[in-house]
Amino acid sequence: MRLTVLVLAGFLSLPALAASADAPSPFTGAITALGTEPFWGLAIDPQSKTLWFHEDEESDLPANNYVAPVIGADGTATFTAKDFEIVLKVTGDCSDGMSDNTFPMSATVKTVNRTYTGCAYPRWDNDLLTLLPQIDSCLAAAKSKGPVTLATRTNAGVIVRVMVDDGTFECAFPGDSTRPGKAAVATDAAPMVSERDPLFYRAPGENPGGECFDAPEIRSADGKLIGWTMADEDC
């Protein structure tokens, strides 16, 4: 998995991170961080229990074991691993330094040799199981088996996007509704934060993983197979 490809994506829209005091912490789920000059990428994945860092100009560091973050009084989250330290902070307006894109969190990664600065965002699939009714409704409206590229909450409700032959099929659900108020191919849809990171394939069907990438199973609390997630990258 090469995370640096995400730097070139046009992440223009920003879903809310913590709309209320009861909202889950943005630091607890899977998180992607990235930066430029040089290009680097970081994956924080509690499910696979790994922290993975890659920098284009250097060889990869070994994947480190996931460690729960220490939350600071200043609103930062610090992950201290064997080979690097990661500090995240919710800012709402982090710039990648190369484009007009904005991200919800800043990121600092300290290795033995240098310090990297960039931005970060929670992956959309952190909320996948909760938004499964909307995902299934949008797949039905799109008459497609996917993959799903995004399911996220916004101030207006829920947005779900599905990859179809004509491009991107978008469903907009008002509030907590499971029936879309709008469902159509969105030819000019601006990419949103975490879109395609990852792709989600709904079960039933065959595991979409191949020779290059794994496609981890997603299961419900009772063990039922929901589908698979996979990185949106070529070999």
Dihedral, CA of residue 159, residue 160, residue 163 and residue 165, to nearest 10: -80
Strand partners, 202: 227
Residue 89 phi/psi, 5-degree rounding, is -150, 130
Task: List CB contacts of 230: < 8 A, sequence separation 6 or more.
Answer: 147, 198, 199, 201, 208, 209, 213, 214, 215
Q: How far apart are CA 121 and CA 13, in angstroms?
A: 12
Beta-strand pair 31-35/157-164 = unpaired
Question: What's the pLDDT at 103?
Answer: 93
Beta-strand pair 225-230/115-122 = unpaired
Rg (alpha carbons) of the chain, rounded to whole number:
17
Start-to-end Cα distance in the chain: 9
The answer to whether 196 and 218 are in contact (CB under 8 A) is no
Q: pLDDT category, 55, cuts 50, 70, 90?
A: confident
pLDDT per position as a tens digit, 123-176: 999 999 999 999 999 999 999 998 999 999 999 999 999 999 989 999 999 999
Domain regions of the chain by residue span = 3-122, 126-230
Q: pLDDT category, 19, cuts 50, 70, 90?
A: very low
Q: How far apart are CA 191 and CA 10, in angstroms?
A: 6
Q: How far apart are CA 85 and CA 90, in angstroms?
A: 17
